[in-house]
Chains A and B, each alone.
Chain A
Amino acid sequence: MTASQTPPSTDPTASVEAPADLQDERLIASQGLGGWAAATWDRIRSGDLGSLPVVIGLVIIWAVFYALNPAFISSRNLVNLTLQMVPIGVLAIGVVLVLLLGEIDLSIGSMSGLSGAVLAVLFVSHGVSAWLAVLAALATGAVAGLVYGLLFNRFGVPSFVITLAGLLILLGLQLRVLGTDGTVNIPFESSLVQFASQQFLPAWLAYLLAVAVPALYLLARVRTNQRRSAAGLSAPTFAAVAVRAVLLALGLALAVYVLGRDRGLSYMVLLFLVLVVVMDLVIRRTTWGRSVLAIGGNVEAARRAGINVKRVYLTVFTLCSTFAALGGILAASRLASANQSSGGADTNLNAIAAAVIGGTSLFGGRGSAYSALLGIFVIYSISNGLALLSVSADIRYVVTGAVLLLAVVVDSLSRRSRAAHGRA
C-alpha cells in the first residue's frame, strides 16, 4: 500500500506544508497513482460500485457473443449497434433525470411515439420544413412534461400514476395524429432520414475529436488543480491526471478506428454522446444539477435550504419528456416511418432498464448521465447479439429482463453495503 498518514499535528494552523483538506490525522491520505488505485479499490469494496458492474457485465456479454458468433464484433455490426441504440439512449437520458429525483416517467415510450407521429405528419402530409417539424415535435414533449410537472406540484399525485395516465393519453393522441392510415413514411432522401442513418463523420474529424476531447479534459483538470493548489487544497499529481487522459484518448481512438473500418461514427451517435456529456456536466457542475441531487437525497432538506423544489420538479419532468420527444424524432427518422406501434412494445421498459442497468439508483439521488450510455449499450448488445444468433424475441425478452433484474439486485446490495460502510 502506498497510503501514507500525514503526521498528527497539535495545531492545525501551524502545519503550513499540509493542504487544508489533508490535515486531519484520522484521514488516510493517498498520494499519486498508486494512492488513487488504492482509494478506488477501497471505494469499490465498500459498495460504491459506480459503473464497475456494468462495465464487467458488458465485457462478459461481448465475450459470450463473440464466442458464439465472431461477426458480433465486426465493424459493420458495431456501427449498426451504435445506430440502433441512439433513439432509446436519448430516452434513457431523460429517465436518468427523473430517477435522480426519485420519481419516474412511464410515458416516455408513448411520448416518443407521439413525437414521431407529429414529426412525420407535419413533415410529410403537411409539407412543413424539417426544422419546424422537429421543433413542433420537441414542443409537444415539452408541453406534456410541463403538464406532468404542474399536476405533480399542484396535487402531489405520485409521478407513477400521473405518467401511467399520460402513457394512455399520449398513445391515444398518437393514434389520432396518425389518422386512419396508421403509417406515415418519411421519404428516404429527406434530411431527417439522411441524418439518422446515412451521415457519418469523416475519419480525420473523428480522430481529431478522439484527441481533442481528452486534451480538453486534461486542460480542465490541470487548471482546476492549479486553483486547488493556490487555494491551499490537495491536488492530484499531473501524472495521475495525464494517465487518465491518455487512457481516454486511447479508448476513443480505438473506438474510432474500429468503427472507421466500416462506415464510421454517425452524426446521430455523436449527438447522443454530446447530450450525455452535456447532461453529465449540467448535473455535476451547475446549481440546478446540485438541486436535483439534493431533492433526490432529501426533499425536506432541499426545501429548507431554500431550493425552489417545485421549479426543479417542473423542469425535470419537462426535460424528460423533451428528451423522449427527441428520441421519438430520431427513431422515426432512422426507420423512415412513424406508425401506430412506434414507441410501443418494449421502448418504455428498455429506456428505464438502461438507466437502471447503467447504475442510476431507483431510490433517487445517485446516478449519472453516463448510465444512460452504458445501460443502453448493454441492452442493445444483448438484443443485437441475440438477433445475430437468430434467437427469437421470446428469448430476447427473457434475457433482457434477467439482466435488468440483476442490475436492480446489484443496486440494492450496493446500497446496503454503502450504508454499512458509511457511504450514502
Chain B
Amino acid sequence: MTTTSPAPVLSMTGVSKRFGAVQALKDIEFHVSTGEVVALVGDNGAGKSTLVKAIAGVYTTDSGEVTFDGAPVTITSPSQAQSLGIATVFQDLALCDNLDVVGNLFLGNELKRSGALDEVTMEQESWRLLRELSAKIPSVRIPVASLSGGQRQTVAIARSLLGEPKVVMLDEPTAALGVAQTAEVLNLVERLRERGLGVILISHNMSDVMAVADRVSVMRLGRNNGDFRVADTNTNEIIAAITGATTNAVTARAARRTPHEEQS
C-alpha cells in the first residue's frame, strides 16, 4: 500500500460557497497528495459536485484557502484550473462521436506540421498514451461512437492526461458501466496513481471506492463528515458517515483523529 505522502499537491481549508440562501459548502477541508486516490463520497446534495466544480474552476468559492503544489492559488476559471494542472473528466465525457479516437484525444490541442494537422505524430502519441494506460482500444482510427462505455471513459481519461496534469478528477467514471468495463476503469485509476498523479474519484459505488481508493472523504449536507483511510475502515462505517448515522460530535471527532494518531 502507499504510504502517506509528505505534502499534498492540492489542499483546501475552510472553503465555503453559498448559492443565495443555500449553504452549499461550509468550512470544507480537502486535500489530495501525489500518488494518492481520494474518493469523494456523499449523498445527493451533499456538495460533492459543488466542491468538484470549485476545484475545476467552474464555480469560485466565497471563502477559504486553496494551495496547489505548495503555493496559495485562487482558481477562477476552468482554463486556469487546467493550466495549473487540474484535469477534470466530467460524467458526460464530452466526446465527439463523429471524430475518431485520435481526433478526440487531441481536440483543441491538435499537433501541426507546416500548417496542416500532423496525423502521423498524433496517432503515434495516441498509441503511446493508450499503451501506457494499458488501454484496450482496438483501433484509434474508428469513430468514438463505435467504442464501448468503458473504452469511451478510457478515451476521456487519456485526453485529460495530455496536458500533463498533477491532479485528475473523475466524476462517476463507473456509472452505467458493466462489470468488466468497471474493472478496466478501476485498473486505469490505479495506473494514474502509479504515474504519481493525485486522483479525486467521485462515486456512489462503495465497492469501487473500497477497491481503488487510499482515502475516503465523506461529505454530508455541505460539510466534511469524516475522512477515512480505506485500510482502516469498512463499508459500514463509511455508509454510516454518508447517511448521517455518525453525525454527532464524538464519532465525527474520533473519525477525524484516527489518521493523525497513526502518523505520530
Whether chain B is bound by chain A comes out as yes
Q: Which parts of B80-105 form the interface with A (CB within 8 Å)?
A: 90, 92-99, 103-104
| Of A21, A227, A366, most B-chain CB atoms within 10 Å | A21
Chain B residues positioned under 8 Å from A293 (CB to CB): 96, 98-99, 103
Q: Is A132 an interface residue (CB 8 A)?
A: no
Contact status A424-B103, CB under 8 Å: no
Contact status A294-B99, CB under 8 Å: yes
Dominant secondary structure at the B interface: loop
Contact status A21-B127, CB under 8 Å: yes
Q: Is A306 an interface residue (CB 8 A)?
A: yes
Residue interface bits A1-31, CB-to-B below 8 A is 1, else 0: 0000000000011000000110010110000
Q: How far is the CA of A277 from the CA of B97 in the complex (A)?
A: 25
Contact status A424-B97, CB under 8 Å: yes
Q: Is B234 an interface residue (CB 8 A)?
A: no
Chain A residues positioned under 8 Å from B117 (CB to CB): 285-287, 290
Q: Out of A20, A27, A281, A296, name the residue touching B124 (CB < 8 Å).
A: A20
> Given A290-B107, A290-B110, A296-B98, A423 and B146 touching (CB < 8 A)?
yes
Residue ranges of A at the interface with B (Cβ–Cβ < 8 Å): 12-13, 20-21, 24, 26-27, 224, 227-228, 231-233, 281, 285-287, 290, 293-294, 296-298, 300-302, 304-307, 365-366, 418-419, 421-424
Residue interface bits B195-224, CB-to-A below 8 A is 1, else 0: 000000000000000000000000000000
Q: How many residues from B make CB contacts under 8 Å with A?
A: 40
Q: Is B189 an interface residue (CB 8 A)?
A: no
Q: Out of A228, A281, A300, A423, name the residue touching B120 (CB < 8 Å).
A: A228
Q: Out of B108, B124, B138, name the residue touching A306 (CB < 8 Å).
A: B108
Q: Out of A224, A233, A302, A422, name the residue touching B145 (CB < 8 Å).
A: A422
Chain B residues positioned under 8 Å from A231 (CB to CB): 120-121, 123-124
> Which chain B residue shows the least CB distance to A229?
B120
Chain A residues positioned under 8 Å from B104 (CB to CB): 301
16 A-B contacts, Cβ less than 8 Å apart?
A: A24-B137, A27-B138, A231-B121, A231-B123, A294-B103, A300-B94, A301-B94, A301-B104, A304-B78, A304-B94, A306-B79, A306-B108, A365-B97, A422-B145, A423-B143, A423-B145
> Which chain B residue shows the least CB distance to A287?
B110
Q: How far is the CA of A27 from the CA of B139 in the complex (A)?
A: 7
| Of B79, B96, B115, B124, most A-chain CB atoms within 10 Å | B96
Contact status A298-B97, CB under 8 Å: yes
Cβ distance B14 to chain A, nearest Cβ, rounded Å: 30
Q: Which parts of B106-150 form the interface with A (CB within 8 Å)?
A: 107-110, 112, 115-117, 119-121, 123-124, 127, 131, 136-147
> Which chain A residue shows the least CB distance to B93?
A301
Contact status A294-B96, CB under 8 Å: yes
Chain B residues positioned under 8 Å from A305 (CB to CB): 94, 107-109
Q: How far is the CA of A418 from the CA of B146 in the complex (A)?
A: 9
Cβ distance B95 to chain A, nearest Cβ, rounded Å: 6
Q: How far is the CA of A13 from the CA of B124 in the complex (A)?
A: 14
Q: How far is the CA of A298 from the CA of B145 in the complex (A)?
A: 12
Residue interface bits B231-242, CB-to-A below 8 A is 1, else 0: 000000000000
Contact status A422-B120, CB under 8 Å: no
Chain A residues positioned under 8 Å from B109 (CB to CB): 305-306
| Of A27, A287, A306, A365, most B-chain CB atoms within 10 Å | A287
Q: How far is the CA of A306 from the CA of B88 in the complex (A)?
A: 13
Contact status A424-B124, CB under 8 Å: no
Q: How far is the CA of A231 from the CA of B96 in the complex (A)?
A: 26
Contact status B144-A424, CB under 8 Å: yes
Chain B residues positioned under 8 Å from A300 (CB to CB): 92, 94
Chain A residues positioned under 8 Å from B145 (CB to CB): 418-419, 422-424
Cβ distance A422 to chain B, nearest Cβ, rounded Å: 3
Cβ distance B139 to chain A, nearest Cβ, rounded Å: 6
Cβ distance A44 to chain B, nearest Cβ, rounded Å: 16
> Given A286-B116, A306-B79, A424-B146, A298 and B96 touching (CB < 8 A)?
yes
10 A-B pairs closest in CB distance? A305-B108, A422-B146, A424-B143, A297-B96, A297-B98, A301-B94, A365-B98, A424-B145, A306-B108, A305-B107
Q: Out of B97, B115, B146, name the residue touching A297 (CB < 8 Å).
A: B97
Q: How far is the CA of A333 from the CA of B205 in the complex (A)?
A: 69
Contact status A301-B120, CB under 8 Å: no
> Which chain B residue shows the least CB distance to A366?
B98
> Which chain A residue shows the least CB distance to B148?
A422
Contact status A232-B99, CB under 8 Å: no
> Which chain A residue shows the least CB distance to B111?
A287
Q: Out of A20, A281, A307, A419, name the residue touching B127 (CB < 8 Å).
A: A20
> Which chain A residue shows the least CB distance to B121?
A231
Chain B residues positioned under 8 Å from A296 (CB to CB): 98
Contact status A233-B124, CB under 8 Å: yes
Q: How far is the CA of A304 from the CA of B78 in the complex (A)?
A: 9
> Which chain A residue shows the least CB distance to B142?
A423
> Which chain A residue shows the least CB distance to B131?
A12
| Of A297, A300, A419, most B-chain CB atoms within 10 Å | A297
Contact status A24-B139, CB under 8 Å: yes
> Given A27-B138, A290-B107, A423-B146, A21 and B123 touching (CB < 8 A)?
yes
> Given A302-B107, A306-B109, A419-B145, A297 and B124 touching (CB < 8 A)?
no
> Which chain B residue shows the least CB distance to A295?
B96
| Of B79, B107, B115, B142, most A-chain CB atoms within 10 Å | B107
Q: How far is the CA of A287 from the CA of B94 in the complex (A)?
A: 19
Cβ distance B104 to chain A, nearest Cβ, rounded Å: 8
Contact status B99-A297, CB under 8 Å: yes
Chain A residues positioned under 8 Å from B124 (CB to CB): 20, 231-233
Contact status A365-B110, CB under 8 Å: no
Contact status A301-B127, CB under 8 Å: no
Other CB < 8 Å A-B pairs besides A21-B123, A423-B142, 5 of them? Answer: A21-B139, A286-B116, A301-B95, A302-B96, A424-B146
Cβ distance B156 to chain A, nearest Cβ, rounded Å: 10
Residue interface bits B30-69, CB-to-A below 8 A is 1, else 0: 0000000000000000000000000000000000000000
Q: How far is the CA of A231 from the CA of B125 in the complex (A)?
A: 10
Chain A residues positioned under 8 Å from B78 (CB to CB): 304
> Which chain B residue shows the least CB distance to A20?
B127
Q: How far is the CA of A298 from the CA of B107 in the complex (A)?
A: 12
> Given A232-B124, A233-B120, A306-B79, A287 and B96 touching (CB < 8 A)?
no
